[in-house]
Structure 1
Amino acid sequence: LAAEVRGGGMNDVDYARIRRAWETVRVDPSRQRAFADAVRDSGAGACVHPSGARDLPVRAARHDLLARQVLLGTVDDGARNPYARRGTRLALDPAVLGTSLLAVGPSGTGKTRQLVRPVVESLALQALAGQAAVIAVGAAGSQLGPDAAYDVVVRIGDPGSVYDLDLYGGTTDPDEAATLLADAFTGDVPGMDVRRAATALAQLLGPFRAVHGRFPAVPELRELLERVPGAVDGLRAALESAGHPAMLRELDARDRQHGAPGDPGAVLADRVALLDRPAFAGFFDTTAQSRLFSLRSLEHPLRVRIDLPERGHADASRMLARLLLAQFTASASARADRSLFAFLAFDDASRTLTAETVRGVQRLRSVNAGVLLTLRTLDDVPEALRTPLLGSVGCRMVFSGVTTWDGQRFAEAWGTEWVEARDVTSRTVFADQPLTRAIHAFRKLVTGKAVTTDAVTVRQVERERWSASDLANAVPPGHAVLSLTTVRGERAAPLLVRLAG
């Protein structure tokens, strides 16, 4: 290895990867012989990532893989920031990303270029070093890096896509699959009971899986929800012939509830119809004829990018985004091996959050996982979820150009601080002695001002760290206000940062 370093054959990814492999050897000494043989045979290429890649095709940010950090910018050298922080570099690492990050800013402020892309790139490098698994979700055409920088690229709605998305998240439990689908399909419907929707889906998914050994594809699920006679009768006959009385009771219960007041079946059928379009023909296949990507793969150091068809199918894209977030929070918590840092980055999380996923985000910091959510405005989140969302994430970021009502939410979340206020009061001096009065009169004649004295009052007052007006008007272009929290609970007050690039 020393020879590789002297010859320039080892880069920072190689060092981080081999260092992590050596840490596993120290935990399990039985691996030492295999580690030594690999290093002797391959040098800096030992213990390489399954893709064979030892670096990314291009880097758009500055990284420190030894500290697992990516440079985000420089703390502004102004009175707004504490003196000790002014002019220092600011970087992000898994210790703070593990508490999740919410960024809000209008279009064109650099959320993708100056935040999402550097963070995803940093975690992709860590994935090559065997330290992380990252999933980047954005609209088709988002600048999240070239295809060669990823192991899996899922282009939903693109016939040329090599990979497909597992609609059921890799689970084999009908109840779990129904819960995730119900949250994605109906979580944004006002007044809809997600639990009833999950029950309705489970009453169909369970019988179908008992007969076919798999979950239904999108057209099959739509037919069952719409109660197409041929589909329902065929499923019932198959259950009777196979001898599944419990599943027959589930199907009978769905028949009784169909069309009743408050039945979610019609809403579910309408939502499934958004995916049953010619553009998605061949996608979400459950017959094992395509290469499915499942979020159950988070135990492996994968680099994944999922392109959503935002331009032509906005409603379907938002529904799939909700499904991905729900599946990620469930899969990250269900991992047996949590040594890898799992991360999900949304280039645009508008209309993606539900009450259940907000609760799921709160649980991620304890399972070595996190999410990055970017919004153009908090109005893209249901009003009832805005305060819980700001409370569930540990890192909050405001770009320049936000509105005052968005700024007010962040100002409340950042709270107040005690500052020293100085009040100066001027009062006229009245002299008692004749000579002094004469001097004061002459001074007033010359200067045109009466003789005064200043009284200074110093007191401690409680003020907002950043007011709504300051966030809306005092953040220059190319800057952002950022507060950080680590998974251990350490906090950094909001700082005005000049973003890199």
Structure 2
Amino acid sequence: MFGLGPAAKSLREQEEQAITVPASKLLLRAVLNLVVAWFVFDEARGPMAWIVVQFKPSLATSVESSDTVNVVMNLLYYGPVALLIAWFFGRMGRWPLVWRRYGRPLVRRVVDAIGSRSGAGTPGKAPTGAKAQGEVVVDPWWAFRPLVGHGGLALLDQETAAGRVGDVDHQRLNRALECVRDYPDRLAALLDAVREHGAAACAHPSGTRDLPGRHSGRHDLLLRQVRLGSAEDVPKNPAAYRGVDLAIDPALLGTSLLAVGPAGTGKTRRLARPLAEALCLQALAGTAVVVVVGAADADLGPAEWYDVVVAPGDPASRYGLDLYGGARRLEEAVARLADALLPEELAPRAESARQALQQVVVPYTEAYGRPPGLRELALLLRGEPVAWDALREALRAGGGLTDHQYELAQRERMHGQVDDPGALLADRLSLLDRPALAASFNRTSERGGGERGGGRGAGRPGAELPLFAMHALDHPLRVRIAVPEHSHPEAARIIARLAVGQFLYAASTRQDRSLFAGLVVDDASAVIDVHSVRSLQRLRGAHAGAALLLRTLMDLPESLRTPLFGAVGGRMAFPGIAPWDGKLFAEAWGTVWVDERDVTRAPDTSGGIIKRSWRAVRTILAGERAQTESVTTRRVERRRWSPSDLAQVLPGGHAVLSLTAVDGTPVPPLLLDLQG
């Protein structure tokens, strides 16, 4: 980080003022000063030569006798005068600004056009034959060379030369080598696989080696980064960051990111989708696991990007969601389910709801060897006599009735009472127990605990779907939870809360944390509660992170807004947010000391006729009247971004983003152009 000195600050202020100068006025002034400068230089050549000859008459004879001497002496005579005239009239004509605004972009376009024309050819393949002189050739498989014999990488080298090896293959194989380098048996198996299968060795369980239609220029798998945009060259951005591309990697996403902006501002297309794409690529490379939650019609990538797509209400859905899959202990899984079923306004009843669920689920699991399905659980919570009699008989047959007699008695005493949490939970479960949704959550006794991981499989119409369990975050899976937001809005809220709650708990309690666990939630208004805010803080130390998108903070209870801002390390404001939303961003980003300058200007009328005549000429050349200035400078504290700036000033396709790395390194709030 560095600062600007007084001279640089003055120049920056002049450039900022010059941005508002119209093009016609700027070009006319530049041409007028160029004409006057040439006229002055032409008139000054004669007197300059006469002065030089007076001091050294022999130079005139030398110049006339030799063309080389003539050229050299002309440079010596007229060079300093030409530079002085160019500096003087260039400053009044603002030639540097003309160059930056028109000349430099034109030169860049010409150079790019020439470069693209000369470099045309087949993309992704190097030309055959000898390499260009001075070109440095980097061996992408240098780490494997010392470990294999001669010709051991023949197939891999052939595929690389033919352009059939992508960056995902390169990162996947190198990561596999890092993991098995210290294990001789595994290392030998890896080298054998590379010899036999080439770049397809150690492929992702899905067999996929790349994502269809991905933006390759946005991602750097070597650094595990995804580019979001470039920092604008504006005074609001610190000087060290202006013009710099900004990318997010697991070290930054590990502190979680909160993005707020109205619908249509590009949150999904310019933030959620690139993050989901980057995490899916990292999963294919064996470095991450990703869960993406959003509406079924949200643009979060095609289904081919994901290994598991849970889409309740969609007849083509191939997976369901395990109601108890977020934890390895049943009591913890029941707590996650209770939190998901109750909306935030019923949070005071969460503890009694957890207790009611445990009084049903634990005895049922003891009796049948599996947790109850969706409909079975709803019947028991309502106190249906048939369901309770069957449960008692199963417990008595298994010898567990005595152990759970007290829990069952407590639950039975609450049946029919006004404040019975079981009836409330049963009503909430009925939102999921609908013909279009029930197949995504129910299980049968023949299936036991259901599917516990993610593999590929297809469910037949009318058949029970394999259930995805969220505690499978130890594997490099790509999971998409597509909630039916439009057809079943309240059920969609429950499903989103359940999936996010299970992820937050599973990610923070998993034993193997070698994979980065990433969560992307397109609309997080339904999933943020007291428990999720606390869980977000634990992700930082668990090699995991979440990106939460909101339309407005007003969708959250007021008591959660400030804790949420404190729980995340990244904050992103999109154009058009409400001033009351911008207030929280402004408070979180704090203030900065700035030098405030008060300038008082008045027309300069001093001097006699000569000075006034010169001011008239200068007014014509510079395009502005001569003025006297009185400058007062004071150091004041100002907000980095005020609520009105965030609400009114941000242009479309831009956003203000601040980040914090897992090790505490901060990135100040920057105005980003997200359209590049």
Paired amino acid for 1:134: V
* Contact 1:207–1:248 (Cα < 8 Å) also in 2: no
Report which of the two has the higher share of helix: 2
Tell me which of 38, 44, 49 is aligned to 2:193. Answer: 38
SS in 1 for 2:378: helix
Measured after TM superposition, the shift of residue 360 of structure 1 is 0.4
Match of 1:120 among 253, 276, 279: 276
Q: Percent identity?
A: 54
1:225 and 1:438 map into 2 onto residues whose CA distance is 97
Contact 1:343 1:369 in 2 (8 A): yes
TM-score in terms of structure 2 length:
0.69
Mapped to 1, the partners of 2:507 and 2:644 lie a distance apart of 38
Q: What does residue 433 of structure 1 align with?
A: none
CA distance in 2: counterparts of 1:438 and 1:201, whole angstroms: 93
One-letter code aligned to 2:284: L
Of 24-33 and 370-379, the range deviating more from structure 2: 24-33
Which of 280, 292, 297 does residue 136 from structure 1 map onto? Answer: 292
Inter-partner Cα distance in structure 2 for 1:88 and 1:396 = 19
Aligned to 1:184: 340
Alignment of 1:243-322 (within 5 A): 243-244=399-400, 245-260=402-417, 262-287=419-444, 288=447, 290-322=465-497
Q: How many residues align?
A: 487
Alignment partners' CA distance in 2, 1:403 and 1:246:
56
Partner SS, residue 439 of structure 2: coil
AA partner of residue 671 (structure 2): L
State the alpha-carbon separation in 2 of the partners of residues 352 and 113 from structure 1. Answer: 21
Q: 1:335 deviation in Å?
A: 1.3
Q: Distance in 2 between matches of 1:333 and 1:106?
A: 31
Q: Is the 8 A contact 2:236 2:640 kept in 1?
A: no
Corresponding residue of 1:468: 643
Return closer, same or farther for 1:470/1:205 CA change in 2, 3 Å cut-off: same
The range that moved more, 196-205 or 185-194, is 185-194
What are the superposed Cα offsets for residues 450-496 of structure 1, whole Å, 9 maximum, x if unpaired? xx976544332221111100000110000000001111111011000
Is the Cα contact below 8 Å between 2:228 and 2:271 reproduced in 1? yes
SS at match of 2:291: strand
Larger mean CA deviation between 481-490 and 35-44 belongs to 35-44
User: Which piece of structure 1 moves more, 286-295 or 367-376?
Assistant: 286-295
Q: Which moved more, 1:37-46 or 1:103-112?
A: 37-46
The residue that corresponds to 1:73 in the other structure is 229
Correspondence for 1:345 among 508, 516, 520: 520
Asked if residue 354 in structure 1 is aligned to residue 532 in structure 2, the reply is no
Contact 2:265 2:652 in 1 (8 A): yes
Q: State the SS of the aligned residue for 1:214.
A: coil
Say which is worse superposed, 260-269 or 469-478, in terms of deviation. Answer: 260-269
In the alignment, structure 2 segments of 5+ residues that lack a partner are: 1-155, 448-463, 617-626
Partner in structure 2 of residue 5 of structure 1? 160
Q: Is structure 2 residue 318 aligned with structure 1 residue 162?
A: yes
2:245 to 72, 79, 89: 89
Letter in 2 for 1:162: R
Query: Does the aligned pair in 1 maintain the 2:382–2:423 contact within 8 Å?
Result: yes
Of stretches 347-356 and 397-406 in structure 1, the one that deviates more from structure 2 is 347-356
1:222 matched residue in structure 2: 378
Structure 1, 487-496 or 411-420: larger mean CA deviation: 411-420
RMSD value, Cα:
2.4
Indicate whether 1:498 and 2:498 are aligned.
no
Judge conservation of contact 2:326–2:502 (CA < 8 Å) in 1. no
Residues 239 and 248 in structure 1, CA contact (< 8 A), matched pair in contact too: no
| Deviations, residues 303-338 of structure 1 (Å, cap 9, x unaligned) | 111111111110010111111111001111221110
Confirm or deny: 8 A CA contact 2:582 2:643 kept in the other structure: yes
Which structure's relative contact order is higher, taking Cα pairs within 8 Å and 6+ residues apart?
1
State the distance in 1 between where 2:547 and 2:281 align: 17
Secondary structure of the 2:662 match is coil
- State the AA in 2 paired with 1:258: H
* 1:171 to partner: Cα distance: 4.1
Counterpart contact for 2:374–2:438, Cα < 8 Å: no
8 A Cα contact 1:140 1:308, kept in partner:
yes
Uncovered stretches (5+) of structure 1, i.e. residues with no partner: 428-436
| 1:104–1:377 Cα contact (<8 Å) kept | yes
CA distance in 1, matches of 2:309, 2:346: 34
1:283–1:469: structure 2 CA closer, same or farther, 3 Å change rule? Answer: same
Following TM superposition, by how much is the alpha carbon of 1:108 offset from its aligned partner in structure 2, in angstroms?
0.6
Q: Which residue of 2 aligns with 1:105?
A: 261
Q: Which residue of 2 aligns with 1:432?
A: none
Say if 2:528 and 2:556, in contact at 8 Å, map to a contact too: yes
Greater strand share, structure number: 1
Amino acid at match of 2:176: A
TM-score normalised per structure 1: 0.92
Partners of 1:457 and 1:271 in 2: how far apart?
Answer: 66
Which amino acid in structure 1 is aligned with residue 188 of structure 2? R
Partner SS for 2:634: strand
CA contact (8 A) 2:229 2:247 kept: yes
Superimposed CA distance per residue, residues 280-325 of structure 1 (whole angstroms, 9 cap, x where no aligned partner): 1322123225311111111100111111111111001011111111
- Distance verdict in 2 for CA 1:296–1:342, change over 3 Å: same
